[in-house]
Amino acid sequence: MKTVSSKLSKQLKEAGCPQDSYLYWIKIISSEIYLLVFKYDETHYWAMDYNEWILEEQINEKNAAFLTDEILDLLPAFIANTWSLTVCKGPVVNTWRVGYVDEEYDWSDDKNFITTSLADAAAKTWLYLKEKGIS
């Protein structure tokens, strides 16, 4: 299962990204470690690595752990009718590129991000667009 990293998840929340997801990175009150949890309902979360329930009142911090398709859905298909959202493998082995290309398929250096995680590349793209006031 591919999700946005806990670090980028926190940055997305701080930047005002909607927090609707199936999964969340949480810190419980007694710990500084992030746990990946499934949201069962408004008060119950399932900590998959620990096979136990976490209650809302035990949570100190909660950030959406977007699945790849969830974060990609938050990106606009086009910017200013010129730049088109594009996702591809590479250019380096085991990396993903997410960003915007023009009509001639030229990548804009400042509008694309390359990481080993597709979800993280999409998250970085969302953060860039937010920073630039583009949506």
Domain ranges of the chain: 6-67, 69-132
Q: For residue 106, report the phi and psi dihedrals to the nearest 5 degrees.
A: -90, 125
- pLDDT attached to residue 135: 67
- pLDDT attached to residue 1: 63
For 100-124, the pLDDT digits (tens) are: 988 877 776 667 888 999 999 999 9
For residue 56, the 8-state DSSP code is G
- pLDDT higher than 90, residue 16: yes
